[in-house]
C-alpha cells in the first residue's frame, strides 16, 4: 500500500492506496508539540483500528505547509518504516506539470498536489482540453488554475471558513460561535441563522464571482473542481462547481509518488 499524507495547518490527512484506489482516509489534529514517536503511535494505532498491518505500507508521499510537523515525519518514516520509499513534495520533485509562477518554490505543496490530481484525472486524457480550476476548502480557501496545456499558472487565496467564523466570534461582543451548516435560506431568522447564511451563501457567491473573473482572464470556459472539508456544503449553493472530489489532494500525492519512484527505479 501507498500512504499519502497531507499536513495542513488544522489537520493531517492520511490516505491509503491499494492498486491505484484509495481504500481508507483518516485525520489527526495538527500539533507541532508532538514528537515523531507520538505521531507514530497514533498513526499505527489508527491503522490497526482499521485492521491494517503497518508492514503492508511500502511507500509514502507527503505534502506539508507546516515545516515543524514535516520534520517530525521525516524522522518518523525511516525510523518506523525503514524499508519504505518516501517522497516529499518540494523543489526537484517530478510533478508532470510545469509551474508557471514568479517563484515556483513559493507554491504550497498541497496546491501542487491539487493541480496534479486535477490534471491527471480530468485534463491529460481529454481531447478537447479546457483550463481547470481547483477550489480547496482548507484553513485557507485556495483557487489553483491549470491551463489547457497542463501548466500550473497561479491562483488566489482567501481566509478559510473557520478563520471567518472565529474572527466574528473573537472580534465582536455579541455574536456567538456557531456550527457551520446549511441555513436553508439566505435571509436568516435568528443571529445564528444569519451568520450561517452569510458564511455559506457569501462564500458560495464569492466562488461563483471568482470563477467568472478567472474565465475572463483565461478567455474561455473552465472546468471547476472543489475539494476539502466544506466542499460539499458550499458547492451545493454554487452555480460554477462542476465536480466535487474530497480526496483530490491525496490522489495528487499518489500520482506524484508514482512519477518519482519510477524515476528512482
- Give the model confidence (pLDDT) of 59-98 as tens digits: 999 999 999 999 999 999 999 999 999 999 998 899 999 9
Alpha carbon separation from 223 to 122, 231, 236, 263 (Å, rounded): 9, 15, 16, 30
In the residue annotation, 242 being an active-site residue is answered as no
Residues in the chain: 265
From 6, 110, 136, 144, the catalytic residue? 110
Lowest-confidence region among 105-119, 167-181, 233-247: 167-181
Q: What are phi and psi of 147, to 5 degrees?
A: -70, 170
Sign for the CA dihedral angle at 161, 190, 210, 233 comes to positive
| pLDDT the model gives residue 116 | 97
* Cell, residue 163: 478563520
What would the mean pLDDT of 222-233 be, rounded to a whole number?
94
Helices (H), 65-108: 67-80
Strand order in the sheet with 59-64: 21-29, 11-18, 2-7, 59-64, 85-88
This model's pTM is above 0.85: yes
Q: What domains are there in the chain, each with its CATH number?
A: 2-88 (3.30.420.40), 104-252 (3.30.420.40)
The predicted structure's pLDDT at residue 91: 87
Buried b (16+ CB within 10 A) or exposed e, 159-190: ebbbebbeebeeeeeebeebebeebeeeebee
Q: CA nearest 43: which of 78, 82, 73? A: 73
Which of 150-159, 171-180, 244-253 is predicted least confidently? 171-180
Give residue 265's pLDDT: 45
Is 50 exceeded by the pLDDT of residue 165? yes
Amino acid at each position: 500500500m501507498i500512504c499519502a499524507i497531507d499536513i495542513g495547518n488544522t489537520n493531517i490527512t492520511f490516505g491509503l492506496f491499494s492498486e491505484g484506489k484509495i481504500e481508507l482516509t483518516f485525520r489527526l489534529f495538527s500539533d507541532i508539540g508532538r514528537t515523531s514517536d507520538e505521531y507514530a503511535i497514533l498513526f499505527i494505532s489508527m491503522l490497526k483500528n482499521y485492521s491494517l498491518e503497518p508492514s503492508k505500507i511500502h511507500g509514502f508521499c507527503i505534502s506539508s505547509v507546516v515545516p515543524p510537523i514535516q520534520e517530525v515525519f521525516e524522522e518518523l518514516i525511516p525510523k518506523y518504516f525503514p524499508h519504505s520509499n518516501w517522497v516529499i513534495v518540494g523543489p526537484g520533485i517530478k510533478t508532470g506539470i510545469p509551474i508557471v509562477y514568479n517563484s515556483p518554490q513559493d507554491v504550497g505543496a498541497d496546491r501542487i498536489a491539487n493541480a496534479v490530481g486535477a490534471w491527471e484525472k480530468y485534463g491529460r486524457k481529454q481531447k478537447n482540453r479546457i483550463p481547470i480550476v481547483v477550489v480547496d476548502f482548507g484553513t485557507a480557501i485556495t483557487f489553483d488554475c491549470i491551463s489547457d496545456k497542463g501548466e500550473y499558472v497561479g491562483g488566489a487565496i482567501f481566509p478559510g471558513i473557520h478563520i471567518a467564523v472565529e474572527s466574528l466570534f473573537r472580534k465582536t461582543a455579541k455574536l456567538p460561535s456557531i456550527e457551520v451548516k446549511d441555513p436553508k435560506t439566505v435571509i436568516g431568522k435568528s443571529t445564528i441563522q444569519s451568520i450561517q447564511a452569510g458564511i455559506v451563501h457569501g462564500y458560495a457567491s464569492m466562488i461563483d464571482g471568482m470563477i467568472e473573473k478567472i474565465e475572463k482572464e483565461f478567455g474561455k470556459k473552465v472546468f471547476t473542481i472543489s475539494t476539502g472539508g466544506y466542499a460539499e456544503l458550499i458547492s451545493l449553493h454554487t452555480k460554477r462547481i462542476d465536480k466535487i472530489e474530497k480526496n483530490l489532494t491525496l490522489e495528487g500525492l499518489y500520482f506524484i509518488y508514482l512519477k518519482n519512484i519510477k524515476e528512482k527505479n
